[in-house]
Chains A and B, each alone.
Chain A
Amino acid sequence: MNQQQADAMQVVMIGLGDEKFALDAGLVREIIDPVPVTKVAGARDFVPSVINVRGNVIPLADLRIRFGMPQTDSSADSRIVVIEIEIENEPVLVGVTADKVYEVTEISQADVQQTPRVGMHWKPEYIRFITKWREEFVIVPNMERILN
């Protein structure tokens, strides 16, 4: 049982395009409805804009860019997941766009899959591991790497 607990990980399951990403629930601060974005000219393409979240101007990251996925139009299901990560030893709030937020759930690291399915264009350093959740493959991204 202890073994199982050690392997279990609370995650927020989000959908982006055809993929599912599991964000470590420990990083997630809040999930909000889409807000108007402000484009930042000259910014790197995976952090193209900023948004206002409760009076803080925070960057909005697009994971699709890092995973070479096509843009999708926003829908009624679109959300922004606000996470907190460390950059140069300082906590930084970042919004992450999601086409859909499924649920907060538990995944097991015991089900970690080898990553044969992963296409060549997915940089391995962006992925912590891939696991199975309800018979589907989900990606547990390495947010620190993706955003640095």
Chain B
Amino acid sequence: MSAMDPTEIFRQEASELFEVLEGALLDLGQRPDDRELVDSAFRALHTIKGSGAMFGFDKVASFTHEFETAFDRVRKGEIKPTQELISVALAAKDYIRALIEDPQSTDDIIGEAILDDLKRFVSFDQPAAPAVQIAEAPPLVPGDSKQAGWHLYLEFESHVLRNGSNPLDLLEDLCKLGPCFVVPVTDGIPFLDEMEPEDCYLKWDVKLHAACDKDAIDDVFMFVQDEMKLTLAPLEQVEAPAPGPLFRLLDEEPAPTAETVVAVAEAAPAPVAEQPAAKAEPKTETAKAEAATEPKAEIKREAAPAKRDDVKQERGIATVRVQAERLDELMDRVGELVIAQARLTQLASSGSDLSIKMIAEEIERLASSLRDTTMGARMVPIGSLFGRFRRLVHDLSRDLSKPVEFVTTGEDTELDKTMIECLADPLVHLIRNAIDHGIEDNATRAANGKTEQGRIELAAVHSGAQVLVTVKDNGGGLNTARIRAKAEEQGLIAAGAVLTDHEIHQFLFHPGFSTAQTISALSGRGVGMDVVKRTIENMRGSIDLSTRPGQGTTVTLRLPLTLAIIEGLLIRVGEGRYIIPLPAVEECVELTAEDERSRGRNFLNVRGNLVPFLRLRDILSVDGSPDQHQKTIIISTGETQVGLVADQIIGNHQTVIKSLSKLHSDVTIFSGATILGDGTAALILDVAQLVALAQSKVEKHISEAA
């Protein structure tokens, strides 16, 4: 971690802060009086400003400064966070984000326009605060004279030692400016029994023989200026610098060059010396110190509980920060371990050495729990993704003049981080669709006796080894007749063909299929539902639609928990071994002689249901004759079942998924590959593709029969 570039960390951090900020701003739209939200927004801005300046994002710092000033007034209750202000604030947030992430993409003019807006809302009545500047080290202003040196008199407040300042260090720093002649003034030292061991009683008279600036001396005492009396006068007459070596303060016995010097060195450390008495005392001492600061603590305490609460949200993302690549690497290593373990298990089971078998089992158990732990570490709550859509809904709702209530549930549901990244675009599309096409316009809603405000629900929930993500609207529902008409018009179905509504809705996933009557600026162009479907299927997930006329549409995405390792069913077809993802497997049955005979039909009778089946030997172009007892694995995606006929079912297999290279991107029936216990590669069958293949065969069969 230590090698990580702080600027890169800042970028990541800023991106999280933007989400916090955006969330707070959007919530503020609903709950303008919530102080926690204002505080949370303010703190995010404050950090962006402070850190931005540190890492060279000067524009960010100066822009954010103005933004922060505006919000400071909200915080002080001087102005209200109106919807208009929030919209401007969101635009300002976007601008800052652009400044950090892609400065080329934006222009100062935009920033100035936003600032003007902000100022208008906040009605600055004081001159605009100056932009934050990178503080320079105190410049060495030419001194007022070229005198020979300075005569200083130092008197510290008694508590100065307790607060971590050490006059000896300060004297030492002073000595660095030039030769010093230091005389301790001991008249303030009380009798021993009156002495507080942690107090400072010494004063010093110093002659500094250096033509340095006053600033340089102030710099030495900058932290203690308020806790000391410093009198400073130019040395009136040139005194000879201390003879011999430069004066140096030493904790140990100093060279006894002059009596006075010895006095400094011996007397000064006494207060800080770790005497047993000092150890015993502090309680009463610190109690006093506390009493002194008590009134201020009171004031602070009021603000404290509010802070403690909004921290909870930040905590969710805080914890340990690890580069995403490292997690990927870790997962790779675990994958290799699982593969090596599979080899060991295979070797052990073929031998007769019992102790090796036991070790192999132990390692198998460890590898499996390590795998679970590692996958767990890659899991990210989906809430981080959901948060982004609130802005989308906010903007769409405004642009389309459709008031929409956006409800999210299941933010805590965890998914592999890679999946979360892949889900963003499909969800954007589905939510756009829901608002643009799902939710009716105001007039229609009113006519149907619906509330003016539409409702979009985005939910995530665990379901076995899968996560279901649903986008639900309470709009008008799908217009089945129109979809059908369009499908007929495009020649996808014959006019009058008998299809269920559900089957008709599937045409929405057909490439180039769009039923939007008016192509709006938002949806109806660019990516379509076919792209959404493909993306989801590439994640080994599935998508399903259900709709009720007049009541709305629900799109359900079923996703595996992870992309990295799955449980698979290892099968053999001819000489080759293949993996079928286990969650897709419903059951395994033997292909009966009767099924065998009905070669032309390719349907299987599973407890009265006709299930189409595919002979994997045909699909995988395997030569030679099939085994005598063919096995059928029934797989399903959603509601569609398909049988796959194989020669042998070998068993369950922990499948570390390796993607196929670009040279094989044209091969669609495999979703990836893995490595088996004996070190050979095996291909993973793409369930969705096989189901689609089977269905197309069925359709062909039906149309041939017709």
Which residue numbers of A lie inside 8 Å of B, CB to CB? Answer: 35-36, 38-44, 47, 50-52, 55-59, 61, 87-88, 90, 92-94, 147
**Would A59 and B336 count as touching, CB distance under 8 A?**
no
User: Are A42 and B662 in contact (CB-based, < 8 A)?
Assistant: no
Closest to B622 in A: A41
Q: List 17 A-B contacts (CB under 8 A).
A: A35-B679, A36-B678, A36-B679, A39-B576, A41-B620, A42-B668, A42-B669, A44-B663, A44-B666, A50-B664, A50-B673, A51-B681, A55-B339, A55-B675, A57-B658, A57-B660, A94-B661
**Residues of chain B in range 66-106 having any CB-CB distance to chain A below 8 Å:** none
A47 to B664, CA, bound (A): 8
Other-chain contact of A36, B664, B667, B668, B680 (Cβ < 8 Å)? B680
Determine the distance from Cα of A43 to Cα of B663 in the docked complex, in whole angstroms. 9
Sample of 10 more A-B contacts, CB < 8 Å, known A61-B663, A92-B662: A35-B680, A38-B673, A39-B576, A41-B621, A41-B667, A42-B621, A50-B673, A57-B661, A59-B661, A94-B661
Does B45 touch A at the CB level, under 8 Å? Answer: no
CB-nearest residue of chain B relative to A39? B576
CA distance A47 to B661 in the complex (A): 11
Q: How far is it, in angstroms, between the C-alpha of A7 and the C-alpha of B680 when the chains are bound?
A: 41
Chief secondary structure at chain A's binding surface: strand
Question: Smallest distance from the beta carbon of A7 to chain B beta carbons, Å?
Answer: 32
With both beta carbons as reference points, the residue of chain A lying nearest to B670 in the complex is identified as A40
Question: Which A-chain residue is minimally distant from B668 (CB atoms)?
Answer: A42
Q: How far is the CA of A59 from the CA of B681 in the complex (A)?
A: 11
Interchain residue pairs A-B with the least CB separation, the first 10: A57-B673, A41-B620, A57-B658, A38-B681, A59-B663, A36-B680, A57-B681, A47-B663, A52-B681, A87-B662
Taking CB atoms, residues of chain B closer than 8 Å to A50 are 660, 664, 673, 681, 683
Q: Complex formed: what's the CA distance from A39 to B666 in Å?
A: 15
Where the two chains meet, the residues of B that have a C-beta atom closer than 8 Å to any C-beta of A are 332, 335-336, 339, 576, 619-621, 658, 660-664, 666-670, 673-675, 678-683
Quick one: which of B661, B667, B682 contacts A93, CB cutoff 8 A? Answer: B661
CA distance A58 to B661 in the complex (A): 7
Contacts of A93 in B (CB 8 A): 661
Let me know if A43 and B666 touch, CB within 8 A. Answer: yes
Known: A38-B576, A55-B335. A88 touches B662 (CB 8 A): yes
> Which B residues are CB-close (under 8 A) to A55?
332, 335-336, 339, 675
Does B661 lie within 8 Å of A38, measured CB to CB? no
With both chains docked as a complex, state the minimum distance between the C-beta of B582 and any C-beta of chain A, in angstroms. Answer: 20
CB-CB under 8 A from A88, the residues of chain B are 662
How many Å lie between the Cα of A94 and that of B621 in the bound state?
Answer: 24
Shortest CB distance B669–A (Å):
6
In the complex, the chain A residue whose C-beta lies closest to that of B674 is A57
| A126 CB → nearest B CB, Å | 15
For B658, give its contact among A39, A56, A90 (CB under 8 Å): A56
What chain A residues lie within 8 Å of B335 (beta carbons)?
55
**Contact between B669 and A147, CB atoms less than 8 A apart:** no
Q: Could you tell me if A92 and B661 are in contact, using CB atoms closer than 8 angstroms? A: yes
Closest chain A residue, CB of each to CB of B621 = A41
| Chain A positions within 8 Å of B664 at CB level | 40, 43, 47, 50, 59
On whether the beta carbons of A87 and B669 are closer than 8 Å, the reply is no
Question: Could you tell me the distance in whole angstroms from the C-beta of B185 to the nearest C-beta in chain A?
Answer: 74
- Nearest B residue to A59 by beta-carbon distance? B663
User: Beyond A40-B670, A41-B619, is A52–B680 a contact (Cβ under 8 Å)?
Assistant: yes
Q: How far in angstroms is the closest Cβ of chain B from A61?
A: 7
> In the assembly, what is the distance between CA of A40 and CA of B683, in Å?
8
In the assembly, what is the distance between CA of A59 and CA of B663, in Å? Answer: 7
Tell me which residues across on chain B come within 8 A of A35, comparing CB atoms.
679-680
* A43–B661 CA distance with the chains assembled, in angstroms: 11
Give min CB distance, B272 to chain A, whole Å: 60
A38 to B680, CA, bound (A): 7
Contact A52 B675 (CB under 8 A): yes
Chain B residues with Cβ below 8 Å from A47 are 663-664
Tell me, in angstroms, the Cα distance from A44 to B679 when the chains sit together. Answer: 24
- Which chain B residues border A44 with CB–CB below 8 Å? 663, 666
Chain A residues with CB under 8 Å of B332's CB are: 55
A44 closest partner in B (C-beta): B666
- For A42, the chain B residues whose CB sits under 8 A away are 621, 666-669
Closest to B575 in A: A39
A42 to B693, CA, bound (A): 14
A39 contact set on B, CB distance < 8 A = 576
Assembly CA distance A57 to B339 (angstroms)? 12
Q: With the chains together, A92 CA to B675 CA distance in Å?
A: 18
Minimal beta-carbon separation of A50 from chain B (angstroms): 5
* Min distance, Cβ A59 to any Cβ of chain B, angstroms: 4
**Cross-interface CB contact of B662 among A36, A41, A51, A90, cutoff 8 Å:** A90
Query: What is the CB-to-nearest-CB distance from A44 to chain B, in angstroms, rounded to a whole number?
Result: 7
The answer for the CA separation of A44 and B681 in the assembled complex, in Å, is: 18
Residues of B within 8 A of A43 (CB): 663-664, 666-667
B331 to chain A minimum Cβ distance, whole angstroms, is: 12
Min CB–CB distance A45 → chain B (angstroms)? 12
Q: Once the chains are docked, how many angstroms separate the CA of A41 from the CA of B681?
A: 14
A17-B620 Cα distance, complex, nearest whole Å: 29
Expressed in whole angstroms, the minimum distance between the Cβ of B620 and any Cβ of chain A is 4
User: How many angstroms from the CA of A94 to the CA of B664 in the assembled complex?
Assistant: 11
Bound complex: CA A4 to CA B679 (Å): 45
Across the interface, which residues of B come within 8 angstroms of A147, CB to CB? 663
Chain B contacts for A41, CB-based, 8 A: 619-621, 667, 669
Q: Which of A40, A52, A61 contacts B667 (CB 8 A)?
A: A40
Contact of B663 among A38, A56, A94 (CB under 8 A): A94
Q: What's the Cα separation between A35 and B681 when bound, in Å?
A: 10
- Name the residue of chain A whose CB is nearest to the CB of B666: A44
Distance (Å) between the CB of A141 and the closest chain B CB? Answer: 16
Q: Which residues of A contact B661 (CB under 8 A)?
A: 57-59, 87, 92-94
Q: Is B666 in contact with A52, judged by CB distance below 8 angstroms?
A: no
